[in-house]
Amino acid sequence: MKEYATFAGGCFWCMVAPFDHLTGILSIRSGYARDEQISSEASALVKKENEYVEAVQIVWDSSHITFEELLNLYWQQIDPTDSAGQFSDRGPSYRAIIFYHNEKQKEAALDSKRKLVQSGRFKNPIVTSILPFSSFYEAEEQQQDYYRKNAFHYKLYKEGSGRTDFLTQHWPKDRSYLKKVLTPMQYFVTQENGTEPPFTNLYWNNKKQGIYVDLLTGEALFKTSDQLPSHTGWPIFKRPILYGNIKRVPAQHSTALKSKEGNNYLGLLLTEENSEYYQVNSAALRFIPKEKLKEEGYEDFLILF
């Protein structure tokens, strides 16, 4: 059954990606939701400035995912103690609001808010509003799927706004939902530090030009011009695109590689004759061909080719 959810959580750029990979999501559109709770005594100017908030409207199939699951993920994207905006975006149009479309959604939203208060996760009061849905109009097309179209700028913005650090601090990653969006092999590799079979994986012998990004976060990790002929059966690179996007984690008898933002397992650091090599599992990567870089928001990386 098709249903609608409308969430305001500050800049709508940051409210699409978390939901986009969930099974059962049919569409997500960025836009502006109307807050009809503005006092009738407010001036016309105040109404105009406060009436609409940036929001996303999600259409989903309730036979695959529940509203409660969407709410759980929503709380993990915002600062629910801030009534004057979200992170570096200040003002009424950036307030966090859950707009309910029916009484069932209202009760679910109120219940989830109560549970968050009772959890004691936040020291300050939870002030996120729960209001009846009124209307929603879509933003310009250039604002839709911004995290895909402008991946590099999106990452800089999200980190610079303070959102990334806040969420990392308050919500240690609950990754159980990933079992719904990843293949068993992708989950085994990225979340359980597993190793895929050699020689049968996607990219061990890739000859096309392009870049590899983190499967889940889209972080740019490696480029094909740094990919070496592999005798082990896994992709091997002599260097990452950005050293800062790779974390080295000491492990027994080896050094594990993880993506910085996603903290997803990638593979192992190999050392041979004073040289370092990055051996990575294909299941942890998504390959973007050179000709698709602009389309997918990685235009800044064309200079590498």
Q: Which residues are catalytic?
A: 11
Residues facing residue 97 across a β-bridge: 8, 129
User: Which residue, chain included where needed, has tokens 């976060």?
Assistant: 217
Exposed, middle or buried, 250 (CB in 10 Å: 0-12/13-18/19+)? exposed
Q: Is the dihedral of CA 146, 149, 153, 154 positive or negative?
A: positive
216: CB partners within 8 A, 6+ apart: 21, 178, 190, 262, 264
Distance CA 153, CA 171 (A): 24
In the chain, the DSSP E strands lie at 2-9, 25-34, 52-61, 85-86, 89-90, 96-100, 129-132, 136-138, 210-214, 220-223, 227-228, 236-237, 246-251, 254-259, 265-272, 275-280, 285-289
